[in-house]
């Protein structure tokens, strides 16, 4: 694997860590570039909005806000608000969403923006993982795309992202960002420097976009992004990014607030020479196990990959303590990796498990076996003693589960004619639950084919029956009461409103739903 200097990741004062004999800070290791050498990417022309970062510093004196640097690096074509109006309206009505993705991006955004800048790419692309995954390293799509950049398995392999039972490079922040940069540069060269087509191809695939261009060319139509007959998803994907870049550049214009992110590295790398129990290390170094897991999401278990990479991302504030802790960690039992054993005649899972001191369930899990049937010559990965089952890992999983607010449960595909009320009734939940679990505003529109979380195993809070409803043009108190199966009197009481003459379109009403609706 090639090694690239990442001096910008090391905080001042941590250099002493690098000389510790037990483990040290390392440069970040990038996966080998398996693709052909790429032509030089077409430089992005700075947009007018990129000057807003400098203006922000000038007026506020704030040189420590990462958003300012990102805005300075804007380079996508400038478009009018009218082209992305729908998405601007959505962002304007979803301050909580903006707060959440800002918070989730904090550990990663500085690194991503710096990699894009070093490669001459427009820094609006640092917002692309918000559109793709909300900067959730464990995000998974129905098409099995993973990580903040949402690589599907084959594209990940095409760009050198290792995938096995211990580690998946698509979830590795450093490896996947490197792959995304190379992929975006390749696409931009392919589409002659057109960044909107590049972003569309990142979403839909280069073949889809090239075929759409060719169809339009034969029909004498335009071949720019806005003219192409692409899927509805891709037609929304590019404007969504453009709208978000406008919001970041000038949140006040859209009645939004953008929380600051410090303009300095969040993490550094620490070498580990052998597999370690991450949960135990986190406990001993007093690091939040969830934070350690998220920074090192590439590891599929609470153990580092026995075959490498042998490095961890650690918050800079905790790096010194963590490095010292490594020397105190008990050694993990040797772990046997994929291809250790080939099934012989007469073998059963029980016999093999007993032979290697493991369990049938562990072998089935390691090899994704749905049945106990084996075939002679079959290659099996035999896991050794797994820290996943250590008391530290079990406790960490329990703690994370208790604090984790991610939606887990059952999804429903919206059909024509569906409404929040009919869907809620069908699944025995409330309208407010649907809105909360799916992070939707009360006036959100449903589209056929859209998926809604309808059973959330992690949420059964009593306050789930409270919603805020914005009165629409044509609404009457009777219609609103009938819609939510409550009484007009209750609505007036809950909102301390004297009578119906005091309500008007745009006003928000608090409504408490009963369990049946």
Please give the positions annotated as active site.
132
Cis peptide, bond prior to residue 288, ω within 30 of zero:
no
How far the first Cα of the chain sits from its last, in Å, is 57
d(CA 8, CA 115): 10
Spatial CB neighbours of 440, under 8 Å, sequence gap ≥ 6: 434
Beta bridge partners of residue 331, listed in sequence order: none
CA atoms of 335 and 338, how far apart (whole Å): 10
Say how far apart CA 189 and CA 192 lie, in whole Å.
5
User: 331-352 burial string, b = 16+ CB within 10 Å, else e?
Assistant: ebeebbbbeebebeeebebeeb
Number of C-beta neighbours around residue 372 at 10 A? 11
Distance between CA 186 and CA 490 in Å, rounded?
Answer: 60
CA atoms within a 13 Å half-sphere pointing along the CA-CB vector of 66: 26
H-only helix segments in 73-172: 85-92, 95-118, 128-133, 153-158
């Amino acid at each position: 694997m090639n090694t690239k200097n990442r001096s910008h990741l090391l905080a001042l004062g941590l250099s002493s860590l690098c000389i510790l004999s037990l483990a040290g800070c390392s440069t970040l290791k990038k996966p080998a570039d398996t693709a052909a050498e790429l032509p030089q990417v077409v430089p992005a022309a700075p947009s007018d909005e990129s000057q807003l970062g400098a203006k922000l510093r000038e007026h506020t004196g704030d040189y420590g806000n990462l958003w300012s640097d990102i805005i300075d690096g804007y380079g996508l074509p400038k478009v009018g608000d009218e082209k992305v109006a729908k998405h601007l309206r959505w962002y304007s009505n979803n301050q909580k969403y903006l707060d959440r993705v800002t918070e989730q991006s904090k550990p990663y955004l500085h690194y991503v923006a710096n990699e894009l800048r070093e490669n001459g790419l427009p820094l609006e692309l640092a917002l692309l993982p918000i559109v793709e995954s909300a900067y959730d390293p464990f995000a998974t799509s129905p098409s099995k795309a993973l990580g903040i950049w949402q690589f599907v398995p084959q594209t990940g392999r095409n760009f050198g992202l290792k995938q096995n039972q211990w580690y998946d490079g698509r979830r590795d922040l450093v490896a996947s960002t490197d792959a995304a940069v190379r992929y975006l540069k390749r696409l931009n060269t392919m589409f002659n420097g057109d960044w909107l087509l590049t972003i569309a191809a990142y979403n839909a695939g280069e073949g889809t976009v090239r075929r759409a261009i060719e169809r339009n060319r034969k029909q004498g139509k335009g071949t720019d992004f806005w003219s192409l007959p692409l899927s509805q998803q891709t037609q929304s994907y590019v404007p969504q990014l453009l709208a978000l870049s406008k919001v970041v550049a000038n949140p006040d214009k859209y009645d939004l607030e953008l929380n600051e992110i410090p303009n300095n590295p969040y993490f550094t790398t620490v070498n580990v020479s052998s597999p370690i129990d991450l949960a135990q290390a986190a406990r001993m170094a007093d690091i939040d196990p969830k934070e350690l897991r998220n920074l090192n999401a590439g590891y599929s278990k609470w153990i580092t990959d026995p075959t490498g990479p042998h490095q961890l991302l650690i918050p800079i504030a905790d790096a010194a303590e963590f490095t010292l802790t490594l020397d105190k960690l008990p050694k993990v039992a040797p772990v046997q990796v994929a291809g250790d054993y080939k099934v012989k005649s007469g073998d059963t899972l029980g016999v093999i498990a007993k032979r290697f001191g493991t369990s049938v369930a562990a072998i089935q899990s390691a090899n994704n076996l749905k049945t106990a049937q084996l075939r002679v010559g079959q290659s099996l990965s035999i896991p050794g003693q797994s820290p996943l089952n250590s008391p530290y890992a079990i406790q960490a999983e329990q703690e994370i589960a208790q604090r984790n607010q991610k939606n887990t449960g059952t999804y429903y595909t919206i059909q024509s004619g569906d409404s929040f009320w009919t869907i809620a009734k069908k699944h025995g939940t409330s309208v407010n639950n649907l809105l909360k679990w799916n992070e939707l505003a009360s006036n959100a529109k449903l589209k056929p084919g859209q998926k809604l979380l309808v059973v959330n195993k992690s949420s059964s809070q009593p306050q789930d029956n409270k919603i805020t409803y914005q009165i629409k043009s044509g609404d009457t108190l009777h219609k609103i009461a009938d819609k939510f199966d409550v009484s007009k009197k209750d609505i007036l009481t809950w909102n301390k409103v004297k009578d119906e003459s005091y309500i008007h379109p745009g006003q928000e009403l608090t409504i408490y739903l009963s369990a049946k609706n």
